Structure 1
Amino acid sequence: MPPWLQWSLIIAGAIAIIALLVFIRRQAAMLAEGRRRQQKAEAFQAKRRQDMVDSIRVIAMAIEEDQVEYSEGCLRIKGLLDHVAPELMEKPPYEVFMVVYEQIRHMPTHQARQDTETRFVEKMDKERFEVERRYADEIRRAATAIRHHPF
């Protein structure tokens, strides 16, 4: 084999090795960036979950201390439990949050409540207060239990 061909093949091999090293380095950097993003996303999700758990505990404490209407507390806890631990709503004593939610979910809230006729709102309030009265003891027990639940 002539020397010029040998040198050409050596140079071509060196170029191929350098190109592969550059490619490998870029791939490694992309993988590292992907891992960093994944860790950041997992940390964000963990913090978000912990914030929801903290909110559940605060709402439960507000229910225990009669600082919030039972129906509102049930709606809020149910909404948070949907994201944190939906299986809890099928177990006693937490199932009362779902029971109350099912009985009052048709009622208007926020702007829809303000836009609704006053007599209809009063009728809905009367129905809501009856649901709250009927389940008051269960709601308080469930609030205490969920406040101490290890999520």
Structure 2
Amino acid sequence: MSRILPTQTDATVERSDTPAVLSLDDDGTRDVIEALSSETAYEIFRLLNETPATPSRIADQLNQSVQNVHYHLENLESAGIIEVTDTCYSEKGREMSVYVVSEDPTLLFLGTEDDRPGLKRAFKSFASLLGPPSILLAAGESISRFVTAE
């Protein structure tokens, strides 16, 4: 018997070529740093950077409770670095959101707005060599080290 409701997603991780740049004087910078500050949130972000996932799948893979995963997903979504991309259904027929890293990669720049024009030119050259996903991971690693050092 075939299922009427999809239990799997065919969502993929797609990114634009133009990153969002957050600087120290940007209101969203603190939100991004706070959202990625816990080890669990950071691991969720890394997982979603590889593949879209439901909260229950994330909980299984990270050996966390679904409630804990939901808490971190809400923080990451509020910071604008992940989003719901699809919906699928559990074996019991419950609707589940499928999360993915946001379409626009984000670069955290530890300078001010005044310093950004030269940064954008340099970043575009750098990103074309390595690709946006690798820059995003490098930025995430830097944030993780910065937050754990405090």
TM bucket, shorter chain: under 0.3
The structure whose RCO (Cα within 8 Å, separation 6+) is larger is 2
So what's the TM-score if we normalise by structure 2? 0.28
**Larger proportion of strand:** 2
Structure holding more helix per residue? 1
Whichever of the two has the greater Rg, that structure is 1
